[in-house]
Amino acid sequence: MQREKDGPVILIIDPEQNISETIQSGLRYDSLHVVSTADEMEGIRLAQRTQPALIITELPLPFIDGIEFCRRLRNDQRTRTIPILIVSSEKQGQESILAAGANDYLARPFAFDDLLQHILALLPPESVASLHILPSKYNPMRRTRRSILDFLEDWTEQSLQDKLKTSD
User: Tell me: the pLDDT tens digits for 58-106?
Assistant: 888 889 988 999 999 999 999 999 999 999 888 777 888 899 999 999 9
Averaged over 7-33, what is the pLDDT? Answer: 76
> 6 falls in which pLDDT band (50, 70, 90)?
low
Local confidence band at 111 (pLDDT 50, 70, 90 cut-offs): confident
Helix axes 40-50, 66-74, angle to 10 degrees: 20
Does this model's pTM top 0.85?
Answer: no
Q: Which residues contact 135 (CB under 8 A, 6 or more apart)?
A: 120, 128
**pLDDT beyond 50 at 141:** no
Higher per-residue confidence, 128 vs 1: 128
Does pLDDT of 41 surpass 50? yes
Stronger pLDDT, 31 or 50, i.e. the higher one: 50
| pLDDT of 50 above 90 | yes
Q: Region 23-48: what's the mean pLDDT?
A: 82
